[in-house]
Chain A
Amino acid sequence: MTFNLRLIPLLPFLGAAILMLFGRKWKRDTVLIVAAGAIAGSCLVAFDAFFTALPRAAAGGGLHDVVGTWIAAGSLKVDLAFRMDALSGLLCLIITFIGFLIHLYSSGYMEHDPDYPRFFAYLNLFCGSMLVLVLGDSLPVMFIGWEGVGLCSYLLIGFWYTSNANADAGKKAFITNRIGDLGFLIGMFLLYQYTGSLNIPEITAAAQGGGALMQPLWGATVAFWAALFLFVGATGKSAQLPLYVWLPDAMAGPTPVSALIHAATMVTAGVYMVARMHAVYLLTPGAMAIVAIVGALTALFAAIIGFAQNDFKKVLAYSTISQLGFMFAGVGTGNFDAGVFHLFTHAFFKAGLFLCAGSVMHAMGGSGDITIMGGLRKKVPWTHGVFFVCWLAICGVPFFSGFFSKDSIIGGAFGTEIFDAAINPLAGEHLAWVGKAVGVVLMLAALGTAFYMSRLYFLVFSGSETRASDEIKHHIHESPGAMVGPLVVLAIGAALGGFIGLPGGLLDHPEWNLLADRLRPVLGPEMEISRAMEIGFMVGSVVLALGGIGLAYLFYGGGYREPARKFAAAAPRFVQLVRDKFRIDELYGFLIIRPVKAIAKGIFFVVDRILIDGFLVGGLAWVVDLVGSIARWLQGGDVQRYMAVFAIGVAAIAYLATQPMHTFFSNALKVTVNGLTVDVDAHRGSIAANRVLDYSFDFDDDGKPEVTGVASGAHHVYPQPGTYTVRVKVKDPSWGTSSTLTQKVEVR
């Protein structure tokens, strides 16, 4: 079914273009109306498409919109086309709705920024790119969005570009992402080579057929490598091990950017991509195991780093990395709908948490240092309320949204049958442990999540005393309505969002799981696990969540408490190591960045200095000078000279045209020796054999041809062995010109 899907990304793009061209001269309100209006319009169209048109579309195909042919090169044809099914539609709703809220919030947050129009132009540009990413009907269109959001992320991280640290953070994000993008491209090329298409539905169909992607390649299957390389792309964009290092630094950007790009939308693109390409992943349990294990390890690793961070946004950044790990663990164990469900709930509560961070920092005069906060509960009541709800959601306290989504991921990991060789013939025997191991790691990560988030909550909001200086304390105030309004909406989403994905199987009403119901045509049926297991995990995760919160309360309830101090004193080096993020950045610097720099320096010297500067630039200039002076002499302005050149040109063509064409094409004769018998062919080497030429073959070079005629080959038997010279004369009867070819032959 066709639908005008192009409007969804087009409106934000138009907004961005208008703001970039004219925004500078406009009043702030006008800028806001254009920017928020564009995204609101896009949001309305997305809602209309998702709720009105999509249910009417045929199952599976969804809505489709072809703008035109984009690339047509031989067998490769890529349309600029968009497609909305339940999966991309859900993402569109998240992007446009949360995007709209964050536009509103930014109007308050960026109120005093001189670059207000530029900020909103980038924000619109980001939303447009993100929408292209999710709506793209083919991998190249998706890749435009993929690169577009990377660019916007770079621009917005370095938004306050006058500070070097911000610009460096932007560069770090961009370069790290480029490494991942290379993986994405290679995955794309592999899929194209073996399926002959870049169109996602066609690749999905090819994958479901199996054949093409199950061919062996480099010791595994094509599907394995394609899935793995695509996942490399995902680790860059979605900040997973080992490419997660850019995300914490990305917090240098304005906080609304962190909320929108680095929490709710862009960083989830990798998860979306894996879900989108699930048909390919399902062919290769090996690659899925890698996805799941990387996700689970990232979830735990980032959670541990989160224990010791003292910057409000840094804690949230590691939390985001950790939660993305959960999503990858979900899709990696085959629970695609659970991964997407967590993406959905995370978008609300993490955006809410970040915006609270912005609000708190706004109140604290721009500082994000949680060691000087405390007791803010009463001073910023609205922000506190929202943070409280989102905190319970991310910890997984029952009936808040994170509880349902996190639980379905953990339960799914234990219950998955993807890695069970007895049920899934594609899986090897050695993979059986993956599901359980991932589940255990995720449970630890969930405990960690509850701990560091509660630490954050207690240090910032609990207690009666704010640890900051009097001057800062004096200024603490609640944020304006434009900022609080969106916060409340997000809090409602964070609290109730889980109800779209109720564990229907457990409640004997499978249709209560609205999300899985909608996603089923796209992602296939959701996973079923036994009721006993499900209840067990539910109780277990509640215990973990409450345990984490309780432990944090012991350490930090109402401020730094005795156990926290004791622990830090007992293992100071460990605490310092965690606080330094396990010094991964330093490790990369030593292992990768330094060698690359050294190689670059060497290449610069050899290629740039010697080859290009010395040889090419110097040499080329000399050639240009020479030709230029000849041309200038000829081009003296004298018409007679022009005509002479013209006439010489005609003469040269006439000369070429009168050559017997034969000569040029076979510089050597084709000679076959067999005993005393010699076959000579003055063959033409070209298709136009029908122009008549006269040949005369002189086999013993005595001036008297042995064979003459129009045939280009001749046959001769020598009387005795020896070395002879064969001379063939070719005459063009229409021009009367001729040429001669000779070759020595040795007969024995």
Chain B
Amino acid sequence: MSFDATQLFAYAPMLILIGMGCLILLAETFAQGASRAGLAWLGIAGCVGALIAIVAGWAGAAEPTTHFQGMLVVDRMALFLDGTFVAAALLTLLFAPPYLREQGFEFGEFYAMVLFATAGMVMVIHATHLVSLLIGIETMSLAAYVLTGCWRRSLRSAEGAIKYFLMGAFATGFLVYGMAMVYGTTGGELSYAGIASKVPQATKSPLFYLGEYFILVALGFKVAAVPFHMWAPDAYEGAPTPVTGFMAAGVKAAAFGAIVRLLGSAFASPLLVFDFTGWASVLAVLAAATMTLGNLAAIRQDNVKRLLAYSSISHAGYLLIGVVASGLGVASAKPAVLFYLASYTFTTLGAFGVVAWIGNRSDERLYVDDWAGVGTARPAVALAMTLFLLSLGGVPPTGGFFGKFYLFRAAMESPQLHWLVVVAVVNSMVSVYYYLRVVVSMYFRDSTRALAPTEGATMRLGLLLTAIAVVLLGIFPGTVVEWAGSIALK
């Protein structure tokens, strides 16, 4: 086995993120008090560097190239999602500093952890081998556990983190168990291509199916698909709000990327996809359950953060429809999923950004009633939040509308999925109800107490950027779909 260091250049985005994370950890030991603010800028610089590396690599990635004995691949899909993750990290680093300062736990490690988690996501999406997938998932998850629990003053943060960690360990158990079964039944294959080539023999053994589903269950846990979603509301509620947005967007997108890649290569054989026992049917049922349960639970929430957590569960359901459609051979399903992930990332980050903005140290203002009067007190922020909520609900002219449109249209091309589209459309209508509750509260109710939000120039910049992104995705979806479309053909 030879190691060719030049291969590393292809992974510049990941290396920049890791390197900058380490640099932040080192710098943190010398930083005191206010100078910690500079650490966030280091992180932002790292993200910008990674974005530049991604853009620079885009042209060369038209054809996929594998590296390190088939452990990792560079292709357009990976770079597209890399861009999404890094944008999510960048926005998180814009939202977080004022929030952390206000809540009194601004540590440099926070920024480093965000970068490490992002590096893990990048690894996940580049992985073409179950071991590199595992490494990526664990890097991402460990950082996410720490980020969830880093708000030491808050009991709920600690509770969310420990639950997330326990459940995550449980899920990782399934992942590793599944890998072992696949390894055994395929005669020692762990790379996606190798597994795919051994499927006909491997299906003779029932353990292969179990292994396949165990791996899917572990990834289903990461995207918070019902019934593996139970951790999500607690972890999302407990985590510091910018982290919640980061997890709901980035972690979910990474896991979906892994699912799409895994199901599109290792488990793409018709032997595994079709029929009632194929993953397409199983995931279709999960999709229906996920969106329905997520939405019905969200209706009952008065806590905006929890409401958004359940809404994020239901969005995993919509996305699963696209995954199933792509399994059933619909060519336009994959770009639809990727577009949805991009638009969902910006929308969710923006929405949680506003949730982070509205509270302060003594008063988190998490309840729907607390949002009364924001429309008159701070019209710009209320408008941004309305945009995000409309996008989540799938109302034009926002990215969320076209995300759903492309997804549902792809699913309509497969007659077996028509019922699922009906369920999804009914669910989207139901979801508009609870999204609009917040809007109604902001605009049509009088404020009960004065607004004292966490101010910060970077926070405002972050909200502006996300709002612009959401609108642009709603006006020029075609351009982004074309980028995503160049991926799907590969």
Known contacts A646-B228, A657-B213, A70 near B476 by CB under 8 Å? yes
A639 touches B167 (CB 8 A): yes
Counting residue pairs across A and B whose Cβ atoms lie within 8 Å, the total is 132
A624 near B300 with CB under 8 A, answer: yes
Flag A641-671 by CB within 8 Å of B: 1 or 0 each: 1110110111011101111011111000000
Q: Which residues of B contact A72 (CB under 8 A)?
A: 477-478, 481-482, 485
Taking a contact as CB atoms under 8 Å apart, the answer to whether A664 and B482 are in contact is: no
CB of A688 within 8 A of chain B? yes
| Complexed CA–CA distance, A643 and B227 (Å) | 10
Interface code A256-276, partner B: CB below 8 Å = 1, 0 otherwise?
Answer: 000000000000000000000
| A residues near B274, Cβ cutoff 8 Å | 686-688
Question: For A662, what are the chain B residues with a Cβ–Cβ distance below 8 Å?
Answer: 275
Are B276 and A632 within 8 A (Cβ)?
A: no
A532 within 8 A of B: no
A432 CB–B CB distance under 8 Å: no
**When each residue 209-221 of chain B gets 1 if its CB lies under 8 Å from chain A and 0 otherwise, what string results?**
1100110010001
Cα distance A690–B296 when bound, in Å? 40
Q: State the CA gap A690–B233 with chains docked (Å).
A: 42
Contact partners of B475 in chain A: CB under 8 A: 70
Name B221's contact: one of A77, A646, A654, A659 (CB within 8 Å).
A646
Task: Tell me the complex Cα distance, A663–B476, Å.
Answer: 46
A685 closest partner in B (C-beta): B275
Indicate if A73 sits at the interface (CB-CB under 8 A).
yes
Task: Determine the distance from Cα of A665 to Cα of B174 in the docked complex, in whole angstroms.
Answer: 30
**A171 within 8 Å of B by Cβ?**
no
CB within 8 A of B282: which of A634, A637, A645, A656? A656
A69 touches B482 (CB 8 A): yes
Report how far A656 CA is from B481 CA in the complex, Å: 35
Instruction: State in angstroms the CA–CA spacing of A652 and B220 once bound together.
Output: 14
| Residues of the A chain whose Cβ atoms lie less than 8 Å from the Cβ of B490 | none
Segment among B37-45, B118-126, B198-206, B259-267 that sits at the interface with chain A: B198-206
**At the interface, yes or no: A587 with Cβ under 8 Å from chain B?**
no
Given A68-B476, A653-B217, decide whether A631 and B276 contact each other with a Cβ distance below 8 A. no
- Which residues in B have their C-beta under 8 angstroms from that of A641? 230
Given that A69-B476, A734-B203 are known contacts, is A643 also in contact with B296, CB under 8 Å in the complex?
A: no
Name the distance in Å between A74's Cβ and chain B's nearest Cβ. Answer: 8
For B, the interface residue count at a CB cutoff of 8 angstroms equals 54
B9-27 vs A, CB cutoff 8 Å, 1 = contact: the mask equals 0000000000000000000
CA distance A664 to B277 in the complex (A): 9
Distance in angstroms from A691 CB to nearest chain B CB is 6
| Known pairs A72-B478, A642-B167, A734-B206; A688 contacts B227 (CB<8 A) | no
Distance between B474 CB and nearest chain A CB, rounded to angstroms: 11
Task: Determine if B205 and A734 form an interchain contact, defined as CB atoms under 8 angstroms apart.
Answer: yes
A665 to B416, CA, bound (A): 12
Are A687 and B270 in contact, with the CB atoms below 8 A? yes
Task: Tell whether A510 is near chain B: CB-to-CB under 8 Å.
Answer: no
The answer, yes or no, to whether B273 is at the interface (CB within 8 Å) is yes
Q: Judge whether A80 is part of the interface by a CB distance below 8 angstroms.
A: yes
Q: Is B293 an interface residue (CB 8 A)?
A: yes
Tell me whether B166 is interfacial, beta carbon within 8 Å: yes
Residues of chain B within 8 A of A218, CB atoms compared: none
Judge whether B278 and A661 touch: CB under 8 Å: yes
A684 at the binding interface (Cβ < 8 Å): yes
A129 → chain B closest CB, angstroms? 15
B275-305 interface bits toward A, Cβ cutoff 8 Å, 1 = contact, 0 = none = 1111001100100000001001101100000
CB distance A688 to B278 under 8 Å?
yes
Q: Hey, which chain A residues are within 8 Å of B273, CB to CB? A: 688
Question: How many angstroms between the C-alpha atoms of A641 and B170 in the bound complex?
Answer: 13
A80 to B270, CA, bound (A): 40
Q: In the bound complex, how far is the Cα of B168 from the Cα of A639, in angstroms?
A: 11
Is A215 among interface residues, defined by CB-CB distance under 8 A? no
The reply to whether the CB of A59 lies closer than 8 angstroms to some CB of chain B is no
B277 and A659 contacting across the interface, CB-CB below 8 Å? yes
**Bound: A646/B226 CA distance, A:** 9
Tell me, yes or no, whether B28 is within 8 Å of chain A by CB.
no
Question: A711 on the interface (CB 8 Å rule)?
Answer: no
Is B479 at the interface (CB under 8 A from chain A)? yes
Sampled A-B contacts (11; CB under 8 Å): A79-B478, A632-B297, A639-B167, A642-B163, A642-B167, A645-B227, A646-B221, A650-B213, A653-B213, A653-B282, A690-B200
Beyond A649-B228, A652-B227, list 18 extra A-B contacts (CB 8 Å). Answer: A68-B478, A68-B479, A70-B476, A73-B406, A74-B332, A635-B230, A646-B167, A646-B228, A649-B227, A650-B174, A650-B213, A654-B210, A656-B276, A658-B206, A684-B275, A686-B274, A688-B278, A734-B205
Interface residues of B (CB under 8 A from A): 162-163, 166-167, 170-171, 174, 200, 203-206, 209-210, 213-214, 217, 221, 226-228, 230-231, 233-234, 270-271, 273-278, 281-282, 285, 293, 296-297, 299-300, 332, 405-406, 409, 430, 475-479, 481-482, 485
Q: Which A positions have Cβ atoms within 8 angstroms of B?
A: 68-74, 77-80, 620, 623-624, 627-628, 631-632, 634-635, 637, 639, 641-643, 645-646, 648-650, 652-654, 656-659, 661-665, 684, 686-688, 690-691, 734-735
The 5 closest A-B pairs by CB, nearest first: A69-B478, A649-B227, A664-B276, A642-B230, A661-B275
